[in-house]
Amino acid sequence: MLTMEEFLMIRDLYNQGLNISQIAQITGFDRKTVRKYLSARTPPSPQPRTGTSSKLDPFKEYIQQRISDHPLSAARIYREIREQGFTGKYTIVKDYIRTIRPSKSVPAVFRYETEPGVQAQVDWAECGHLDVDGQRRKLYCFSMILGHSRMRYMVFTLSTNVYTLIQCHIDAFEYFGGYTEEILYDNIKTVILKRAIRAGDHQWNPKFGDFFQHHGFIPRLCRPYCPQTKGKIENSIGYMKRDFLLGGTFSSLDDMNRQLLQWCNRVNAEPHGTTHEIPFDRLQRENLKSMAGIPAYRLRREERRKISREAYISYLGNRYSVPYRYAGREAILELHDDRMIVRVGTEIICSHTVVPGHARIVREKEHFSGLLAEAMRCNAQSGAASRPLFRMIEPEVEHRPLSVYEGLSGEVRQ
């Protein structure tokens, strides 16, 4: 049963225009629960039990004995007492068994505390949707936390591809002032393509492999089906959703990230719930690897495109011109921040500044210089060399002497 605060929070999110699925994703409640409390005016309060007898009373002694002998399921007990004459519902049986079943012991979990500078944890989280240039896009949050100090870094993105992942790492390293010896990841394709029994046989994503080899840190993978392996990062993401994202108001993705960075600075300056120390203070003892002696990593993205017959390529919904003589060929786009270099084979044919928005056309006049003259020349040559589809010929006329026609008219010339 929800508390009054949770009930009012659901109502507030609904009044902000969020639908049931979005509210369920943000709050963690089931959609049925959200729908139930949206239709209710106040949270239902537990009703006092009356002293009336229950249909289950004659069978309680039998149920207690069966449960004490064997850990039978409520469905099994229900079938047995129905054969003995019970006419009530299964829910009554299940609720009663829940009160008498011996509680199971929860296995203790050993909290693993990392030494300074040893390990960080990384994860992605889905955070609803965002309207960008009239399109509905998924919103993700990249999160990295240092295992010893509990320093957090988070940023919202619209993609989880390997290029975004690498850029988020670079930004996190700059925020922390360095990086740990190893970083823990889920089994995601942007990090690893094929997991092997031995770590040395893993098949890493080649682009991410180039990045971690450049910096010299060791990627580690979570054990399958063991969420405790990266509990620090999962707790951090859940806390962010509750303490920052829930009920927040933002004007754009940039505004969201600006406010999120302020939030990270605030929580990193407050005592952590586990260590009871301020993460910024513990950061001084992290002994991170410095980035000072490492050349800046050049994040180079490459994407393949087919040049259209009109001599344009498409990227992120916008069209960019290329020299017309390359129309119809395959090009490689080299993307560096907001710059795009277009290459055909080993030849660089042009470059552009990537523009924001959607359905925009970036046209360079020199890319089409000489195209009209060449087209006219081709048309003239084509017209001169073309053959007609058909030809007309004059009918053949038979030439006869005049006497033939005079004989036909019946006249005789004297």
214-217 contacts: CB < 8 A, separation 24 or more?
214/294, 214/297, 215/173, 215/179, 215/289, 215/291, 215/294, 215/297, 216/289, 216/294, 217/179, 217/180, 217/181, 217/182, 217/183, 217/289
- 135 and 218 co-located in one domain: yes
pTM of the predicted protein model: 0.57
- 334 and 410 co-located in one domain: yes
- 277 and 356 co-located in one domain: no
How sure is the predictor about 28, in pLDDT bands with cuts at 50, 70 and 90?
A: confident
Instruction: Indicate whether 182 pLDDT > 70.
Output: yes
Residue 230 lies in a domain: yes
- 126 and 275 co-located in one domain: yes
Query: What are the tens digits of pLDDT across the range 12-22?
Result: 788 888 888 88
The residue out of 283, 313, 342 marking a domain boundary is 283
Residue 291 lies in a domain: no
Domain region containing 90: 55-97
Instruction: Give the model's pLDDT for residue 107.
Output: 56
CATH number at residue 201: 3.30.420.10
Number of domains in the chain: 4
Query: What are the tens digits of pLDDT across the range 94-112?
Result: 999 988 887 665 555 545 5
How sure is the predictor about 273, in pLDDT bands with cuts at 50, 70 and 90?
A: confident
The residue out of 283, 310, 343 marking a domain boundary is 283
Residue 145 lies in a domain: yes
The residue out of 225, 256, 283 marking a domain boundary is 283
Query: What are the tens digits of pLDDT across the range 121-167?
Result: 999 999 999 988 778 899 999 999 999 999 999 999 999 999 899 99
- 261 and 340 co-located in one domain: no
Residue 204 lies in a domain: yes
- 154 and 263 co-located in one domain: yes
- 255 and 372 co-located in one domain: no
- 319 and 405 co-located in one domain: yes
User: Do residues 386 and 379 touch, judged by C-beta distance below 8 A?
Assistant: no
Query: What are the tens digits of pLDDT across the range 300-330?
Result: 788 899 999 999 999 988 999 999 999 999 9
Instruction: Using DSSP, state whether 223 is helix, strand or coil.
Output: coil
User: Do residues 153 and 190 touch, judged by C-beta distance below 8 A?
Assistant: no
Q: Which residue from 1, 7, 16 is spatially nearest to 40, judged by alpha carbons?
A: 7
Query: What are the tens digits of pLDDT across the range 404-413?
Result: 666 666 655 5
- 39 and 161 co-located in one domain: no
Instruction: Give the model's pLDDT for residue 248.
Output: 84
